[in-house]
Amino acid sequence: MTAVQSQPDAKTIWANYQAILERVALAAGRVGVNPASIKIVAITKTFPAETVRAAFRYGINILGENRVQEAIAKIEQLRDLPQIEWHLVGHLQTNKVRKALEYFAMIQSVDSLPLAHKLNTVALELNRKVDVLIEVNTSGESSKFGIEPYTLAKFVADMQPLNSLSIKGLMTVGPLTTDSAKVGRSFALLRRLYEEMQGWSQCNLAPCWLSMGMTDDFEIAIAEGANMLRIGRGIFGARRD
C-alpha cells in the first residue's frame, strides 16, 4: 500500500506557493516571458485529499498525480470540487487506461503507440476527446520513460489517425543531476523538438504545452521555454514515496 504523507500546515502550503509564484515570475522576467502564461501543475502524489482541499482554497486547481489507483480514491473524496483539473503525469499502463480516462482531463505521459491506440479506443467508447502530451526521453537515462527524440516525427505521424486524441504538446523529465548545464541541454532539446513539431505537415494539431521542470529545476526549464511546470515538493513539502 502507498504510504500517505500527513497533511502539511495550510499556512505553509500558502507560503510555499507564493514563494514558487515569485520564483516563476523572476525566472520568466529574465527571458521576457509573461509569468501568467506559465501553468503550474501541483503534484499531490502521496498527499491526502485534505491537502488538496486546502490547496484549492488558495487557488491551486490544476493537480497532477502519478498513479491511477491512488488518484481515484483521492478524486472520489473531492467530487464536490469539480473545478479541479486532474492531470496524470506518471507512466500509464494500458490495463489502467479506462480508469485513467474516467478521472483525468489530461494524460501527460503518452510514451508508446500501443498506449496511444488504447487511449484512442477507450476515448471513442466514452465519446470524449482526450488531451495528451507526448513524453520524450531527452535525458538519455534508461530509467526514464518516454520515446526517443529521433522517433518523434514518426510517432506524431502515426498518431494522426487517432481522432479521439488531441496532441497538446510535449513532456519530459529532466536528468537527476546537480549539473545545471546537463539539465538545460535536456530541456533545450525538448524545446527544439517542439519547434520542429509545429512545422511538420503531418502535425495538424499544433502543440501548445511544453511540460518540463519540477521543484529543483523549473527555473532552468523556464529559461528553455517551459510553459507548464510540475511542482510537488516546492508547494507541499517532502513526501513519502
Total tally of structural domains belonging to the chain: 1
- For residue 30, tell me if it sits in a domain: yes
- For residue 3, tell me if it sits in a domain: no
- For residue 98, tell me if it sits in a domain: yes
Question: Which tens digit of pLDDT belongs to each residue from 74-88?
Answer: 999 999 999 999 999
pLDDT averaged over every residue in the chain: 92
Q: Rounded to whole angstroms, how far apart are CA atoms 215 and 179?
A: 15
Query: Structure pTM?
Result: 0.92
- For residue 139, tell me if it sits in a domain: yes
- For residue 240, tell me if it sits in a domain: no
**pLDDT above 90: residue 199:** no
CATH code for position 205: 3.20.20.10
Rounded average pLDDT over 145-151: 96
Is 11 in a helix, a strand, or coil?
Answer: helix
Do 40 and 62 meet the contact criterion of CB atoms below 8 Å apart? yes
What pLDDT, on a 0 to 100 scale, did the predictor assign at position 110?
A: 98
Residue with cell 515569485: 22
- For residue 238, tell me if it sits in a domain: no
**pLDDT above 80: residue 62:** yes
The domain of 199 spans 10-232
| Length reported for the chain | 241
Do 12 and 55 meet the contact criterion of CB atoms below 8 Å apart? no
- For residue 124, tell me if it sits in a domain: yes
**pLDDT above 80: residue 240:** no
Do 184 and 223 meet the contact criterion of CB atoms below 8 Å apart? yes
Q: Name the pLDDT band for 111 (thresholds 50, 70, 90).
A: very high
More confident residue, 78 or 196: 78
The β-bridge relationship of strands 62-65 and 39-43 is parallel
**pLDDT above 50: residue 155:** yes
**pLDDT above 70: residue 161:** yes
Q: CA 189, 190, 191: angle at the middle one, nearest 5?
A: 90
What pLDDT, on a 0 to 100 scale, did the predictor assign at position 177?
A: 87
Computed from CA positions of residues 101, 145, 75, 82, in that sequence, does the dihedral angle turn out positive or negative?
A: negative
Instruction: Quickly list H helices, the chain.
Output: 10-30, 49-57, 68-77, 97-103, 113-125, 152-159, 180-197, 218-223, 233-236
- For residue 2, tell me if it sits in a domain: no
Instruction: Give me the phi and psi of 130, to 5 degrees please.
Output: -110, 125
CA nearest 21: which of 229, 201, 179? Answer: 229
Rounded average pLDDT over 199-210: 67
CA nearest 51: which of 83, 85, 11, 103? Answer: 11
